[in-house]
Protein backbone atom coordinates (compact mmCIF):
# COMPACT_ATOMS: atom_id res chain seq x y z
CA UNK A 1 0.00 0.00 0.00
CA UNK A 2 1.53 3.31 -1.06
CA UNK A 3 1.23 6.68 0.72
CA UNK A 4 -1.79 7.88 -1.28
CA UNK A 5 -3.73 4.68 -0.60
CA UNK A 6 -2.81 4.89 3.07
CA UNK A 7 -4.01 8.51 3.34
CA UNK A 8 -7.30 7.72 1.60
CA UNK A 9 -7.90 4.69 3.82
CA UNK A 10 -7.13 6.73 6.96
CA UNK A 11 -9.60 9.42 5.90
CA UNK A 12 -12.28 6.86 5.02
CA UNK A 13 -11.74 5.07 8.34
CA UNK A 14 -12.05 8.34 10.25
CA UNK A 15 -15.39 9.23 8.65
CA UNK A 16 -16.96 5.84 7.90
CA UNK A 17 -15.05 3.22 9.89
CA UNK A 18 -13.10 0.30 8.46
CA UNK A 19 -14.79 -0.76 5.23
CA UNK A 20 -13.58 -2.92 2.33
CA UNK A 21 -12.41 -1.04 -0.76
CA UNK A 22 -15.13 -2.64 -2.90
CA UNK A 23 -18.04 -1.44 -0.76
CA UNK A 24 -19.99 1.53 -2.09
CA UNK A 25 -20.13 4.45 0.33
CA UNK A 26 -23.14 5.91 -1.47
CA UNK A 27 -25.30 2.80 -1.97
CA UNK A 28 -24.19 0.10 0.49
CA UNK A 29 -23.76 2.13 3.66
CA UNK A 30 -26.36 4.21 5.54
CA UNK A 31 -24.56 7.55 5.76
CA UNK A 32 -26.31 10.89 5.63
CA UNK A 33 -25.49 13.13 2.67
CA UNK A 34 -24.31 15.79 5.14
CA UNK A 35 -21.71 13.42 6.57
CA UNK A 36 -20.60 12.41 3.09
CA UNK A 37 -20.35 16.10 2.10
CA UNK A 38 -18.01 16.76 5.05
CA UNK A 39 -15.91 13.78 4.03
CA UNK A 40 -15.60 14.92 0.42
CA UNK A 41 -14.62 18.46 1.40
CA UNK A 42 -11.83 17.01 3.53
CA UNK A 43 -10.90 14.42 0.87
CA UNK A 44 -10.46 16.95 -1.94
CA UNK A 45 -8.72 19.55 0.25
CA UNK A 46 -6.40 17.24 2.19
CA UNK A 47 -5.25 15.20 -0.80
CA UNK A 48 -5.19 18.19 -3.19
CA UNK A 49 -7.55 16.57 -5.72
CA UNK A 50 -9.24 18.58 -8.47
CA UNK A 51 -12.97 18.22 -7.83
CA UNK A 52 -14.16 19.92 -11.04
CA UNK A 53 -15.63 16.69 -12.47
CA UNK A 54 -17.21 15.57 -9.19
CA UNK A 55 -21.01 15.76 -9.01
CA UNK A 56 -22.13 15.08 -5.44
CA UNK A 57 -25.77 14.67 -6.45
CA UNK A 58 -24.83 11.78 -8.75
CA UNK A 59 -23.92 9.74 -5.67
CA UNK A 60 -26.29 11.39 -3.18
CA UNK A 61 -29.45 12.48 -5.04
CA UNK A 62 -31.41 15.32 -3.50
CA UNK A 63 -34.65 14.11 -1.95
CA UNK A 64 -36.10 17.60 -2.47
CA UNK A 65 -39.33 18.87 -1.00
CA UNK A 66 -41.68 15.96 -1.50
CA UNK A 67 -44.98 17.84 -1.39
CA UNK A 68 -43.99 20.54 -3.90
CA UNK A 69 -43.49 20.03 -7.65
CA UNK A 70 -40.02 20.66 -9.09
CA UNK A 71 -41.38 23.29 -11.49
CA UNK A 72 -41.92 25.81 -8.68
CA UNK A 73 -38.72 25.10 -6.74
CA UNK A 74 -35.28 26.65 -7.22
CA UNK A 75 -32.84 24.22 -8.82
CA UNK A 76 -30.96 23.43 -5.60
CA UNK A 77 -34.18 22.23 -3.90
CA UNK A 78 -35.51 20.08 -6.72
CA UNK A 79 -35.90 16.34 -6.28
CA UNK A 80 -33.46 14.16 -8.20
CA UNK A 81 -35.34 11.30 -9.82
CA UNK A 82 -32.49 8.79 -10.13
CA UNK A 83 -30.88 6.11 -8.04
CA UNK A 84 -27.48 6.94 -6.55
CA UNK A 85 -24.45 5.71 -8.46
CA UNK A 86 -22.04 3.47 -6.54
CA UNK A 87 -18.98 5.21 -5.12
CA UNK A 88 -16.31 2.85 -3.80
CA UNK A 89 -13.11 3.36 -1.85
CA UNK A 90 -11.27 2.05 -4.93
CA UNK A 91 -12.68 5.01 -6.89
CA UNK A 92 -11.43 7.38 -4.18
CA UNK A 93 -7.96 5.83 -4.29
CA UNK A 94 -7.68 5.92 -8.09
CA UNK A 95 -8.81 9.55 -8.22
CA UNK A 96 -6.35 10.48 -5.47
CA UNK A 97 -3.52 8.88 -7.44
CA UNK A 98 -4.55 10.84 -10.56
CA UNK A 99 -4.99 14.11 -8.64
CA UNK A 100 -8.47 14.67 -10.12
CA UNK A 101 -11.91 13.07 -9.99
CA UNK A 102 -11.93 10.39 -12.70
CA UNK A 103 -15.58 9.34 -12.69
CA UNK A 104 -17.62 12.10 -14.32
Does pTM surpass 0.75?
yes
**Within 13 Å, how many C-alpha atoms sit on residue 85's CB side?**
10
Segment 73-94 mean pLDDT: 83
Within 8 A by CB and 6+ apart from 78, the residues are 62, 64, 70
Q: What is the pLDDT of residue 80?
A: 63
Selection from 67, 50, 57 nearest residue 36 by Cα: 57
pLDDT in tens, 35-80: 999 999 999 999 999 999 999 989 988 776 667 776 777 776 677 6
Could you state, in order of their start, the residue ranges of all structural domains in the chain?
3-98
Amino acid sequence: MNDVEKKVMELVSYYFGDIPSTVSISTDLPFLPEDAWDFFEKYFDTLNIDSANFNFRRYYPNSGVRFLPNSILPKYLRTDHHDPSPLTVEMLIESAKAGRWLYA
